[in-house]
């Protein structure tokens, strides 16, 4: 045999393509803009008369709006020429919408602005994920998605630091900080326009680590999502029913005595913990298998949510928050990489659209039901119920989804 053997997963190139790196910086800047204001939303809602149920609507309605956009955007992004315009439009819409929080006067206004912001998220998510998946070899996808999520979460560190400096350093009003979030948001759009290019548009660069024959077959490949992928998405839907917004974690810690001055610090610690673990978690899914690492992360989520609900002090809850960050580090890279390997390249955009839409629909229910349980029953009941649902999702993942032979070392 004169042909070189395929790369084993642990031998995949460590250097990520320029497009993946650029998209990482886009996410960092976008999340810096978002998280300048996101941890401050509970306080803003409190000032204008919104309680825990309004937090549920704030998160849930936004996901409902984004869900429909994700399906449409996913189908459009199967055509590579449409990906960059969709990404730029999605980030641009969000950048111009967030500063409108500076003028809200009622909880409903905040919900509507958040919904428009999430329209932008729905536009950009599927084409961005399809671009990342197609830019790297199969054995490097966990690393690539982990890097992207790391940059996203480090943006979540930078944003609250900026908010802290503006609020407590320069003593700017809360609403002025919301208005200034436009600056990093527009910087993200500029990076998209100048530095992001889909490798699939370059005829000399295959979208996959495949030969020309396989590439041509992929372009004219199947149009239906395989059954194995639907089983995975079913398990993901159940798990996502446990995924209420992180604002509830901040609300819980505030109820346990956390001072508003420390809320940005707590948020920074959460995002920093996620970011530190995203790349190691993504590489773990490359090395040890997507399903195994993902199931472990979902179990960890369930355990930490139960612990969070029964914490008796905000310091104790902060400890559980560290374990919660570990869940994200393990899950965020492999969660999308697993789907990328269960569907052919020709329909990967719509598959990511379905995935994001399914997550969004489940999160809508999760946020509204969690808000009701928190307000009408108690915080421990709400957190314990969500933790139990997460464990059921992990069990379904193990039972319904076969380990992909493409991400096991034996098959390399």
Is pLDDT of 211 > 70? no
Is pLDDT of 126 > 90? no
Q: What percent of the chain has pLDDT over 90?
A: 20
Is pLDDT of 303 > 90? yes
pLDDT category of residue 361 using cuts at 50, 70 and 90: confident
Is pLDDT of 358 > 80? yes
Is pLDDT of 176 > 60? yes
Is pLDDT of 168 > 70? yes
**More confident call, 230 vs 214:** 230
Enter the tokens of residue 260.
Answer: 């508003």
- Res 215: pLDDT: 45
Structural domains of the chain sorted by starting position, each given as residue range(s) with its CATH number in brackets: 16-194+223-411 (1.20.1250.20)
Mean pLDDT lowest among 52-56, 203-207, 295-299, 325-329 = 203-207
Q: What is the chain's alpha carbon radius of gyration, rounded to the nearest angstrom? A: 21
How far, in Å, CA of 131 to CA of 205, rounded? 13
How far, in Å, CA of 381 to CA of 379, rounded? 5
- Res 394: pLDDT: 93
Short-list 242, 363, 252, 223, CA closest to 316: 252
Q: What percent of the chain has pLDDT over 70?
A: 87
206 within 8 A of 345, measured Cβ to Cβ: no
Is pLDDT of 26 > 60? yes
- Compute φ and ψ for 234, nearest 5 degrees: -65, -45
How far, in Å, CA of 173 to CA of 192, rounded? 31
How far, in Å, CA of 331 to CA of 223, rounded? 28
Q: What average pLDDT does the segment 235-255 reach?
A: 88
pLDDT category of residue 371 using cuts at 50, 70 and 90: confident
Residue 2's Cβ-count burial label (10 Å; 0-12, 13-18, 19+) is exposed
Q: What average pLDDT does the segment 168-172 reach?
A: 85
Q: What average pLDDT does the segment 186-211 reach?
A: 73
- Res 384: pLDDT: 92
Question: What CA dihedral angle connects 251, 255, 256 and 262, to 10 degrees?
Answer: 60
Is pLDDT of 115 > 80? yes
Q: How far apart are the first and last CA of the chain?
A: 17
Q: What average pLDDT does the segment 301-328 reach?
A: 89
How far, in Å, CA of 112 to CA of 104, rounded? 10
DSSP code of residue 4: P
Short-list 207, 145, 195, CA closest to 348: 207
- Res 11: pLDDT: 44
């Amino acid at each position: 045999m004169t042909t070189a053997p395929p790369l084993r997963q642990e031998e995949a190139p460590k250097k990520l393509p320029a497009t993946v790196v650029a998209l990482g910086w886009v996410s960092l800047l976008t999340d810096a803009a978002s998280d300048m204001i996101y941890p401050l939303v509970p306080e803003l809602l409190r000032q204008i008369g919104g309680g825990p149920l309004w937090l549920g609507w704030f998160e849930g309605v936004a996901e409902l709006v984004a869900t429909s956009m994700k399906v449409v955007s996913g189908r459009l992004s199967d055509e590579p020429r449409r990906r960059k315009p969709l990404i730029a439009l999605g980030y641009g819409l969000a950048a111009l919408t967030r500063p409108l929080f500076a003028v809200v006067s009622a909880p409903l206004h905040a919900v509507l602005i958040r919904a428009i912001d999430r329209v932008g998220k729905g536009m950009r998510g599927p084409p961005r994920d399809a671009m990342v998946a197609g830019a790297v070899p199969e054995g490097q996808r966990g690393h690539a998605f982990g890097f992207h999520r790391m940059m996203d979460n480090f943006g979540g560190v930078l944003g609250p630091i900026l908010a802290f400096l503006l609020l407590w350093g320069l003593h700017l009003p809360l609403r002025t900080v919301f208005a200034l979030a436009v600056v990093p948001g527009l910087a993200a759009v500029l990076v998209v326009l100048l530095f992001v290019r889909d490798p699939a548009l370059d005829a000399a660069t295959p979208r996959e680590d495949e030969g020309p024959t396989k590439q041509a077959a992929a372009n004219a490949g199947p149009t239906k999502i395989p059954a194995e992928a639907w089983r995975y998405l079913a398990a993901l839907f159940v798990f996502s029913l446990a995924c209420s917004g992180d604002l509830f974690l901040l609300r819980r810690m505030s109820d346990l005595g956390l001072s508003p001055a420390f809320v940005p610090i707590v948020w920074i610690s959460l995002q920093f913990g996620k970011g530190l673990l995203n790349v190691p978690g993504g590489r773990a899914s490359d090395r040890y298998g997507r399903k195994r690492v993902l199931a472990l992360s979902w179990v960890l989520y369930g355990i930490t949510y139960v612990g969070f609900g029964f914490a008796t002090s905000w310091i104790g809850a902060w400890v559980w928050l560290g374990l919660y960050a570990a869940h994200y580090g393990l899950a965020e890279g492999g969660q999308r990489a697993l789907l990328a390997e269960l569907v052919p390249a020709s329909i990967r955009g719509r598959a990511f659209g379905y995935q994001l839409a399914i997550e969004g629909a489940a999160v809508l229910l999760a946020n509204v039901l969690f808000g009701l349980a928190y307000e009408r029953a108690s915080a421990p009941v709400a957190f314990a119920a969500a933790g139990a649902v997460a464990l059921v999702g992990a069990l379904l993942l193990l039972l319904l989804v076969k380990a992909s032979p493409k991400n096991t070392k034996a098959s390399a």
